[in-house]
Amino acid sequence: MVPKIYRNQRFAYPDENEGKQSGVLVLLYEKEGQVHLPLIQRPEYEKGAHSGQVSFPGGKLEPQDANLTETALREAHEEVGVLPQTVTVIGSLSKLYIQPSGFWVLPTVGYVSAPPSFVPDQHEVAEVLTTTLEHLNHPDTIKEVEPRSDMPKFPYFDVDGRVVWGATAMML
């Protein structure tokens, strides 16, 4: 899901253990014979690098967090009401650097045994979206968007008419 123009380029990023750190939760659950996962649409806000975008539940590392997996679980609880003790952590994906916000993000993959009842925090979540792995794997789901006229086209996933691009698309 990296734009073609960037695929063979190398970039200088800060060391992945330095700088701002965050964690997101890729939460899997079975429903009607398919594997589902939630995404959230962030509210629109002024001067935000990720304003209005679709992402996984998650956020920045706080002093009380023992590690980024704990960050992901805490943030998922705060943002969509998923109780950390109901999540079986499977593992994590590779860390990804988010240039616009300057964060390193660790995606934690977890599983819940029953479909969760999402309770979105109105200040942090405009809407909870759910999709299936089958939908994401369908060729018609992947499209291209040009975010601004001075930027190249970026591939994205179309989830219920929403654009899932950038770091979230790369994690998917």
Q: 140 falls in which pLDDT band (50, 70, 90)?
A: very high
pLDDT tens per residue across span 90-122: 999 999 998 878 899 999 999 999 999 999 999
Q: Tokens 């109780």 — which residue? A: 83
Domain count, the chain: 1
CATH number at residue 116: 3.90.79.10
pLDDT by residue (tens digit) across 30-66?
A: 999 999 999 999 887 766 555 668 999 999 999 999 9
In a domain, 76, yes or no: yes
- CA–CA dist 21, 59 (Å, integer): 9
Q: In terms of residue numbers, what domain contains 24? A: 20-131
pTM: 0.87
- Residue 8: pLDDT over 70: no
Tell me whether residue 10 is in a domain.
no
Does residue 148 form part of some domain? no
- For residue 151, being part of any structural domain is answered with no
- Band (pLDDT 50/70/90 cuts) for residue 7 is low
pLDDT at res. 34:
98
- Residue 152 in domain: no
**Which amino acid is present at 51?**
S
Nearest CA to 28 out of 49, 8, 56 is that of 56
Residue 18 has a CB neighbour count (10 Å cut-off) of 9
Q: Provide the 3-class DSSP secondary structure of residue 156.
A: strand
Confidence band of 157 (pLDDT split at 50, 70, 90): very high
pLDDT at 158 over 80: yes
Q: Is residue 100 part of a domain?
A: yes
Query: Is residue 170 situated within a structural domain?
Result: no
Question: Does some domain include residue 150?
Answer: no
